[in-house]
Structure formats: C-alpha cells, structure tokens
Amino acid sequence: MIGFFITYKEKLFFVTADHNIHIEDHNEGLRTGIDNVVCILNNIHNIEEFSTLLTTIAEFYYMEKFDFNNPSNDHDLFDVAVSVLCVDKLKAPFFTDNFIDKNGNILVKEGELKFQFNENQLIESNKDDMYFVYRKIRPRFIRLFLSTENTLK
C-alpha cells in the first residue's frame, strides 16, 4: 500500500492516493462504487511463524472536485483518500524494514516504528514548490517474506 501516516489532534490518519482504492473509478473517470481492499505491510518477519503481517484498512473518505461556477460540468475525481485508524483495534504495530540510502547507509533500522507526520510538521503546500515522496513501496519477496524496495514518486 502506498501512503503515509499523520497524527493530528491525537488521531492517527492514513493518507493514500484514491486510485489505490478505486482503480476502476480512475480508469473510467467516474465513481463506480467498487472499493478495493487496502492493506498496510507491518514488516513483522517471524521465521518461526512463517508470516508477513498485513493490516486491512477500511472506511476511507474520498473527494471529488466540483465547480460551483459551472454546476453542469461533471465532477472531477480527486486523487486523495483518508482513513481514520482506530489505534485501540489494531492487532499489531506498524514496523519498518531497513531503509538504506544509495550509498548503503542505514537511515532507518529494521523493527523501528513506521514514521508518522504530526501537526508540527505540516505546512500549507503551494504551486511554486515541487514535492516528492520517497518510500519503500514496490513489493518484492526476500526469501519467504514480502518486502518493499525504495521508490521515488
């Protein structure tokens, strides 16, 4: 799953692109009412239990753009979806695996909690700046475990 966590006003949010949840919608250019199942890779690798843990995320809020000046126009799909996570109901914490830069330096050690933005780190975006997301999102298997590799978006 491609996305990130934000802790805001003591609530944990998961933010992703709407096309991850509504693939058919973005292929058709309209809401079809078909929701895909979304999971977060917990990166809990336990060789004794032979498992990679995935946590299902549901109940996403998604948006559409609407032109109030020209209401006859179709609504445009807005490629952002947000889920409010109930931390008390999560079965396992979200751990990361190694995050290594191009020189082989370990930036995040395996087993640390996945990073969460908080409200002190949020700013209003603007059109003059360019924004990139560098994450471990491309799935691949390492031995018997599902993992991800570094990708720039």
pLDDT score of 111 = 78
pLDDT at 11: 92
- Rounded distance, CA 153 to CA 141, Å? 21
Low-confidence ranges of the chain (pLDDT < 50): none
User: What's the Cα-to-Cα distance from 3 to each of 11, 81, 86, 147, rounded to whole Å?
Assistant: 16, 10, 17, 15
